[in-house]
Amino acid sequence: MKAHLTRRYMFSASHRLHSDELSEEQNRSTYGKCNNQHGHGHNYIVEITVSGPVDDRTGMVCNLVDLDGFVHREILERYDHQNLNRLQEFAKNVPTTENLCIAIYEIVERGFGKAHLDKVRIEETMMNSFEYSGENGR
């Protein structure tokens, strides 16, 4: 029997949406107020959905302690209270929430092998959320 588990986490971070590939005017028209030179912050809500067979012994898709520990070490410690523009994964990519979603998906896919990763969803604001399901899910 296959089941899905979605776990929610929260962190705060800032970013400035700005591309070196665009002129100042293009950046302003593309990103609007999010192109503010001083940046702005969000309280992100990250949902990680994994799936797999329900273990007969534990009754779970995966051990929540393992998932929580991994996410704390690899995601929350990396991104919480950071300026995303200053992180390596955004040296060449604009730190949009779409790109943040992909970065988090890749970290979990590479490092958490105790269940199949289905998707990562990030709520940036009450009005904006983003979801990534990997290359095959595009």
Catalytic residue among 15, 62, 101, 124: 124
34 labelled catalytic? yes
98 labelled catalytic? no
Catalytic residue among 4, 40, 72, 81: 81
For 79, half-sphere exposure in the C-beta direction (CA atoms, 13 angstrom radius) is 28
81 labelled catalytic? yes
Catalytic residue among 4, 34, 47, 77: 34
Q: b/e for 28-46, b at 16 or more Cβ within 10 A?
A: eeebeebbeeebeebebeb
Q: Rounded to an integer, what distance in angstroms lies between the CA atom of residue 97 and that of residue 15? A: 10
Which residues are annotated as catalytic? 34, 81, 124
